[in-house]
Structure 1
Amino acid sequence: MEEMQGTAKDGGAWRMSRWRVTTWGVAALILLLPLATGAPWTGSDFAFAGIFLLVPLGIYELVVRRTGDLTYRTGAGIALVATVLLLWVSGAVGIADSEADLLYFLALAVGVVGVFVARFRPQGMAYAMFATALALASAGAASLVAGMVPARNSASEILVITGFFVVLFIVSALLFWEAARGEPERWAV
């Protein structure tokens, strides 16, 4: 397979790499897995799962096209994976009780708003990811303080789950921070 390197010089031509083909292929296989296992999914189930998988991959595609900075790409990838996992866990089984899980969704909204305010610049992205981590930690603390601990999870499990996501967003923030230090002039307005 021939690979094309997309750069600003060649007009941002699409870069066909083995990693990207593999990523999209794995997403397609994950989407087809319920069909192979005979799971009783409806068309709307497949549509929801497709959106759930393809939107983050599409966003990552845009990141890959926008920058060749591996640190920035890794930070974006970790943030997207953390977001998808958090939505999946919160939506499928829940972390705390249903009212408290809304706090986790609001924490993600903090990150989304921060990303757009930052206009995708690395330093602003770092601040947005730190704010998301702080909002997630606050959601977990509020859940515990308010006693919103369901029978399926203990307080320590909520702490561990919340801590896991907080760490992912902090790692993403640190990677964005490093990307900002690497080439600050490239991101200037």
Structure 2
Amino acid sequence: MNTEQNLSKAFTYPAIATGLLLLIPFIAMKFSEDVVWTLSDFILAGIMIFGTGITYTLVTRKSEEMAYRVAVGFALFTGLFLIWSNLAVGLIGSENNEFNSLYFLVIGVGIMGAFIARFKAAGLMLTLLAMAATQAIITVAAFFTGMAEVPESSVYEILAVNGFFITLFVVAAMLFRYAAQEESQTNEEEG
């Protein structure tokens, strides 16, 4: 199979998955007045889902290690879920609260860290820990800036939501740690 076919295949699966996932809210809009999506909602969701899918495909295409593939998938899903939740309802207050824009820093740390680590499992483990730390710093900043007083937010909600994402990032880091250990064992056996 040549490179052009591989690239075509790399784009086809995420595109099909994106289309199928976007059918869910499209159909739900026909049966429920609670689901109200605009064209821009569909476009943004499509970009996010397709972008996550193509990133997974491109990052994992050279690795046959299942642990690495699972770790990449878990990390990407967590990042997508963080941004999706933040844009949909906001993690602190409503989605219109400007403080929520800080959560894009977590994704920025992940992107920069992934490139610095050259997508190697050991470096990605550190990147995911840095993402968890960034999320924790944002949580602390929320308390120091009085965000627990914002309507629709409380100390408990801020701790619970941010703790949930911090936990997911730490779990992803541990998956990359396991993948790095498997990778080093494989290299020792081959060397």
Aligned residue identity for 1:110: V
Q: Is the 8 A contact 1:107 1:139 kept in 2?
A: no
Partner residue of 1:128?
Answer: 127
1:61 and 2:57 correspond: yes
When normalised by structure 2's length, the TM-score is 0.79
In 2, the alpha carbon distance for the partners of 1:115 and 1:54 equals 19
- Residue from 69, 77, 80 that aligns with 1:81: 77
**Structure 2 gap segments, 5+ residues each:** 7-11, 31-35
* Deviation (angstroms), 1:62: 1.5
Query: Is the deviation greater in 165-174 or in 98-107?
Result: 98-107
Counterpart for residue 108 of structure 2: 109
Q: How many pairs align?
A: 172
Deviation at 1:153, TM superposition (A): 2.1
**CA RMSD of the aligned region, Å?**
2.6
Counterparts of 1:144 and 1:12, CA distance in 2? 51
Residue 29 of structure 1 pairs with residue 20 of structure 2: yes
Contact 2:60 2:72 in 1 (8 A): no
1:153 alignment partner, SS class? coil
CA distance in 2, matches of 1:168, 1:110: 15
- Equivalence for 2:171: 171
Identity of aligned residues (%): 35
Instruction: Say yes or no: does 1:99 pair with 2:98.
Output: yes
TM norm structure 1: 0.79
Cα distance in structure 1, aligned partners of 2:89 and 2:37? 18
- After superposition, the Cα gap between the structure-2 partners of 1:89 and 1:43, relative to the gap in structure 1 and judged at 3 Å, is closer
